[in-house]
Each structure stands twice: as C-alpha cells, then as structure tokens.
Structure 1
Amino acid sequence: MAAPILKWKRLTNATGPSPRPRHGHRAVAIKDLMIIFGGGNEGIVDELHVYNTATNQWFIPALKGENPPGCAAYGFVCDGLSKILMFGGMIEYGKYSNELFELNATRWEWKKLKPKPPRNGSPPCPRLGHSFTLAGNKVFLFGGLANESDDPKNNIPKYLNDLYTLEMKVSTNTYAWETPLVGGDLPPPRESHTAVAYCDKNGSNYRLIVYGGMSGCRLGDLWVLDIGAMLWTKPTVFGIPPLPRSLHSSTIIGNKMYVFGGWVPLVMDDVKVAAHEKEWKCTNTLGCLNLDTMKWEHLTMEMVEDSMPRARAGHCAVATHTRLYIWSGRDGYRKAWNNQVCFKDLWFLETEKPVAPSRVQLVRASTNTLEVCWGAVPTAEAYILQLQKYDMPLTPAKTPTGNPPLSPMKATGVFRPAVVG
C-alpha cells in the first residue's frame, strides 16, 4: 500500500490581531489554543498572542501580574492544562536571563517564581538556546549558550551540556532546582537544539530525546536520557537521517517526532568544512523519527512551491490533535540579528487521516427525510455519510423481552460516516 502524500496547508483569513513576524519566539498548545510569546525582529518583544486553531482566530488576552521582560530563545513548557513555565533566554543582545516565570492560562496571570537552588550546587546560569522539557512531573533543562563575560558587549560564548530538573513541591506550591546524578556519556555541549519527552503507551518509561543543535557547527546527533535510570545513551538510529541542523523544531505526534526547518550546512562533502562551517542555509525539509523503532521514516510530500512553507529557522511549532502547526520564523543568510527577513505565515500539516466518528444518532425521520448527528472530529474538514438499505421482515420477530425490536431507522450504528481530512 502506497504511503499517503502529506500536504501542507496555509491558513488564511484569520480574524483578530495577529502578531508581528519574528523569530526566536516560543509556543505551547493547550487543547485547541496555540500560545505564543516573545521573540524578536527589530527588537525583542514582550507580546503574548493566542491563536485558536478551531476558529482560525487570533486574540490578545488581558494579562495581569508580574509580566516577564521581552525575551527570545528561552524555555517554554506547558502542563497541558493551564500552567505554563518560562525560563531564561536573551533579553538584550549578549545579555541572558536565568529567571523563571509562571503563566496561569486560566486567569492569564504572570508570576515571577523564586525556585530553591539545588542542594548540591548552584542554580542554572543565565543562558539562551537551551531546551526546557516536561517529562512526568519534572521539567528538564539541558544545555544552551552562556556569556562568560560580564559585559554584554564583549560576548564570550560558552556552549553548555549541563542538566537540571525543576520540580514543583505540591504540598508547599514551591519550585526547586536539582542537579541529578546521571550515568553514561553526556551529549556534547550545544545550543539551539531540541528535546522532546516520550513514554510508552502505558505512560511509563519516560525518555528525553535531544536532537541536533549548534556547537561551532550544526549537529545531527541524537541522544536519549532514560529518565527512570537517569542514564544517557547514544542509540543506534536507522533510516536516512535529516541534515544536521539548529534552530529547528521537533514536535511529538503519536509515536513520531517531526523535525522541521532550521539552519543546515551548505556544504556536506568536505569533512573539514562540515567541522568548521563557513556557510549555511535555511531549509523547509521535514524529518520523521519513529520513536518506537528509532528509525527515520521516508515521508512523501507534495512539493509544489506555493503549497509548502518557505525555508526558515527560529520558528515555533506545536501539535494539536494530529496536526502540526508552524508560525513565522526567519530566512536570510548572515543578516544582522535585528534586521531579519521574517515570515507572517501560519501553516499546518495533517499527519494522519482523521478517525471516523464513533457514534451516529438519529435525530428525526419522516417518509422521505432523515436527520442524523454525530460528534465532530476536530481535524476533519468534510464528512461522507453512507446509508445502508435494510429490508424490514414481514413479521417482526419478538425480542427476549417480548417487545418488537426497534425500527432500524432508530437504531444507532446503521449510518456509516467517514471523514475527509
């Protein structure tokens, strides 16, 4: 059976106040909402916008509390319900943060947190380009880029590969940093990588999967932290891998990690050039890693130029249901940070065929009309309803209760809807 052809779709005619184009922003998803904060283009912004994927509508919530400063390349994570945590990032060129903020998305209220330092060390230093990933009841902070100079104008970059965990103490409603003891070989230092958390279908055996990034050159390696054993490994990965990259996005949908965009090396043939990059470019390629088999899978994509996002890096990506959404990001080669070519477009990719509604019910029937209803499928754009002819027996048989059976027109399950994604 031939693999389905995946198609990007650009979302247009959205209502409400859409955000300005930017890069270095972050996004999280809560149900049908995509929540975007920060980033920059001609300056770093402290704006928060929300996009409703179900209604194609942007809105700006009325925020209260202690708002964080404008920030880019920070950590942004959500518990999937109402709590969002934000850590670190760049607040000015060369000036990085190690502050922690919480956003309650029910009340749209910011709060600056003061987590307890680790019992066996110092709290994480200011940084950008780190990963900040929720796995179970802990957030895992890994890597990033620090400035070893106290003078922001005299930037001395330091790539990091340290690991911290952040846990909320439910009984006291406080947060605490920890520096866990970890075995195995640590991943090399990096920034602008991605990290996702994946667990088995039964909700156990959490793994943190770190991919790509930048450390003098683009990286294409993949590392796994077994969270139960707290052990780093570099697993054997099968299939044809994507090009090494940084400033990409990695998004979990089902048992697959979708890697989109980023900066990739312009030349891969010469080992010396690959090790000490001189040139790079943006890409709009999409990679797919099956996390159960650890194999890069081939995707058949519709490659018409106007029907797919342009190459970009520093965009944001979220998953809602089975759709992958991406917004904005930058293009351009060796342009100043505050003078980028940024996009304002919003796209989604349907990664799986939507499932059919589970139940169909009869609302009313007449001699020549039927009215039925079923639960909507969020990712289905259209439905096909199949009617099955059923001949009534001349003498209705009695049921074990002694009552005649329901008319087939009144029985659920007679109608077979299918969906079109």
Structure 2
Amino acid sequence: MAGGMKAVPGRRRILGALLLLLLPPPLGGAGVGEEVIVLQEGSECCHNTSRHFCYTNVRSPCWRDIWTRMQIWVNSNHVIRVTQVGSEEELRELEESKVWNFLSSLLKEKLNSTNIDMDLYSNKTCLKVELLEAGTRYCIVLSRWFDPKLFLVFFLGLLLFFCGDVLSRSQLFFYSAGISIGLLASLLILIYVMSKAMPKKSPVYFLLLGGWSFSLYLLQLVFKNLREICKSYWQYLLGYLLLMGFVSFGVCYRYGPLENERSINLLSWALQLLGLALMYLGIQIRPIALALVLIAVCTKNMDYPLQWIYGVYKRAQSARLGPSPPRLLTEEEYRIQGEVETRKALEELRNYCRSPDFSAWTAVSRIQSPKRFAEFVGGSSHLTASEVSFHEQEYGLGGEFLEEQLFEEDEEEDFLYGETARAACGPTTRLTAD
C-alpha cells in the first residue's frame, strides 16, 4: 500500500475498449442530423465526404420486370466502407451507435467499388458511405436494366427440372458435376478426407464447419477478384484447375456412376428441387415466379391425372353403352400376328427345353429325330429346307392352294353374274312369249 496501488491489467483493457468506442467518427464522418441525399435512377452523383443516401421506390413491379435488376454502384479512388440499411431511422440509429461503429470497423469489408442489389418490392433503401483516407472521391449511380444472368438462372432451373431424370442417369453429368464440386469445394473435401484418419472423439466436426465457412469465404473472394486473378496469377490458377480436376476425376472414376435405383431417384429429386429453386430465384416478380413454378410442376406430372381422367371416362362410357364387340382382324394383321406369336412360342419352348426342369431323356426317347430336336434347342429353325419348299409350292404365289382359291372365287362370281342376268331377263322373256 505504501508504494501506491497498481492498475489491474484487466481494467486497462476495459479502459482501452471504452476509449475506442468514444473515438470520433472516421474521416469526413457524417453527423447525426446530416441531410440525406435522395438518389435518382440513371443520375450519377459524386462526393468527397462521408454521406447518407436513400432511394424511394415509387414504381410498382409489373410483368415486364421479370428479369429486371436494380443496383446501386459505388466507385471510389480509395478504399471506403459502405453500409446498407432499410430506412432513414436506421441510418440515425447507426450513426448514434458507437458500439456498432466499432464492430463494423473491424468486420465490415473495405472496398474501392461495390454494388448493392435492390429488391423491386422494397419501398426504401438507404446506405452510408464512410471515407477512410483523405483525398477520397467516390461516385454513386442507381441503374435499372434487363439482366441476362437472371434469364440464364431461370433457363438452367427449367432444364434441371425437366431433364433431372435423364441427367441423374447420365455418366457425362456425373463426371462433370463431380469435377465441378471438386474444384469449388476442394478445401472442404480435404478436411473430410483428413477426418477419416482422425479419432472419432476428435473435434473434427468443428473443423468441418470451419472448413465449410472458410471455403465459402474463399469462393466469395475469388469470384470478386476473378478478373485480377486470371490476369496476374493465371499460371497458379491453371495449375490448380488441372490438379484438382484430375483428382476429382479420379475420385469419380473410383466410385463410378450411381447404379442403385433409389440413389438415382434421390439425385433426380434433388435436381428437380434445385431446378424449381433456380426458376423461382430467376424471376424478380414473385407472383409470376410462383405461377411458373406451379405450371412447371403441373406440366411435368400432367400425364398422371390425364390418364386417370381418361380411364374414368372410358369406364363410364363402357358402362353406359355396354360392352363393344371385338374388332375383327384383317388378313394382313392376322398373318403378322401369327408370325409374331409363332416366334414367341418357339422361343418359350427353347427356353423351357434349356431349363433344369425339362427332362431331356424322356423327350429324346419319345421323338423320332433327336438330332433335329437338339439343333432346334440350340437355335436352329424348326423347319427343314424341304418343308419350307413344300409350303411355298402349296401356299405361296402360284401354289395349288392359291389357285384353288382363285378358281373358286371365279366360279362364285360367274354363278352370281348368271343369276343376276337371269333375274333381269326373266320378265322380258315372259312378255315375248305372251
């Protein structure tokens, strides 16, 4: 006590945090009661101080805006911090909250340029631009335009939904999807493979969760800086794509495409659900998006209710009219059906003779030509060449059977012609005799 009291280290940390929270706002910081600048579509405004901006949407979305996107572009010559809120009240609360300012300074990403997507149904969108360096000048522009990416997302969803059954059984789709997943989630796959070699009671689940989050963060950074990466580090990018592509292909080749029917059905259903989600996300007008999703579902499954309705209609019609007489076959249909059924019956007979249930010795002891029977079971014709020739002579073109049929038809025609002529000339003969 004589030497005086020493400050506790924990208290120093608390005092330091309080001082940080009470620091003044960043360079060019906006005051609490600062005027909010109203943004207009298509007009660009440039500033060199921290400002608040708001846009009030007075236009109701219509069917022409299904693939329309609204964005606020912010471009600056130095790094800035942009915070988006929903109203002017939230802007004032954001300005008054020192704790939020301190946390956002640590967590909020600092960018030279950014774009903010706006919902067509939102009434108001506000944002706060903070300068971090002196001499910073930035420009803000609000634009509305037709976005072909939304159309591509909708078309991809439509393709996945209607072709999910075919894609789930396609080997090309299996390898393409496997390689794509391997390229995009290589870090997560590496952590999963490492978890197989770890004990079961290790904190591998936390590693998996952290690996997934870290992978998403890396993917976000890569897509934001993809152009710069392709320009400056194309060698490393090409090496990564080749390496992970070969590794992913090897893993897919090792396990092979799906063969189990239930697994194929699960993949097909997953692709269809993903397709419906992409269709809904690709349309900006929500009622139209929901209507198109319902139409797609009904169109894909329309055959089931139509078949049921047609079956009910046929049953009601048959019950009202009674059983209809069977249709008779034409000569050509009779001949074709006879050939088809004969070949089918002969093939069934061969299969039965090859089965273990068939007693070969009993059959051989009862037939006259065992060799011919063995050739028939082996796949040869059940007719010999002489039998085929005899059949052609009897029943083919120019055969005796056909000639007899033709002669009988000619005799019947002559008889009918004579009877008709006699009936026509009978009354005239009687009148002449009288």
- So what's the TM-score if we normalise by structure 2? 0.20
Which structure has the higher relative contact order (CA within 8 Å, separation 6+)?
Answer: 2
Compare the two structures and name the one with the higher helix fraction. 2
- So what's the TM-score if we normalise by structure 1? 0.20
Compare the two structures and name the one with the higher strand fraction. 1
